[in-house]
Chains A and B, each alone.
Chain A
Amino acid sequence: MYGSIRAIEYFLPENVLSTERLAEEFPDWMVAKIDARTGIHSRHISAAGECASDLAVAAAKKLFASGVCAPEQIDFVLLCTQSPDHFLPTTACLVQDRLSIPTSAGALDFNLGSSGYVYGLGLAEGLIQSGQASRVLLLTAETYSKFINRRDRSVRTIFGDGATATLVSGEQAEKPFLGPFVYGSNGSGAAHLIVPAGGLRRPRSAETAVETEDDQGNVRSQDNLCMNGMEIFNFTLSVAPSTVEKLLEKAGLALGDVGLFVFHQANRHILDHLRKRVGIPAEKFVIAMADSGNTGSSSIPIALKKATEEGRVTPGSVVMLVGFGPGYSWGGTLWRA
Chain B
Amino acid sequence: MSRDEFLRSIDEILELPPGTLKGTEALDELPLWDSTAMISFMTLADSNNGTRLAPRELGACITVGDLLRIAKVDV
Seen from chain A, the residues whose Cβ lies within 8 Å of a Cβ on chain B are 33, 37, 154, 216, 228-231, 233-234, 237-238, 269, 273, 276-277
Residues of A with C-beta under 8 A to B58: 230
For the complex formed, measure the closest distance between the CB of A153 and the CB atoms of chain B, giving whole angstroms: 10
For the complex formed, measure the closest distance between the CB of A251 and the CB atoms of chain B, giving whole angstroms: 26
Looking at B1-9, B16-24, B36-44, B62-70, the stretch in contact with chain A turns out to be: B36-44
- Other A-B pairs, 10, CB within 8 Å; known A231-B55, A269-B40: A37-B36, A154-B35, A230-B38, A234-B42, A234-B54, A237-B52, A269-B36, A273-B43, A273-B46, A277-B47
Residues of A with C-beta under 8 A to B36: 37, 229, 269
For the complex formed, measure the closest distance between the CB of B59 and the CB atoms of chain A, giving whole angstroms: 8
Is A234 touching B55 in the complex (CB atoms < 8 A)? Answer: yes
Residues of B with C-beta under 8 A to A216: 34-35
Residue of B15, B36, B43, B58 contacting most chain A CB atoms (<10 Å) = B36
Seen from chain B, the residues whose Cβ lies within 8 Å of a Cβ on chain A are 15, 34-36, 38-40, 42-43, 46-47, 52-55, 58
Is B39 touching A233 in the complex (CB atoms < 8 A)? Answer: yes
Nearest first, the 4 A-B pairs at minimum CB distance are A230-B55, A273-B43, A216-B35, A233-B39
Residues of A with C-beta under 8 A to B34: 216
Is B47 touching A276 in the complex (CB atoms < 8 A)? Answer: yes
Distance, CA A37 to CA B32, complexed state (A): 13
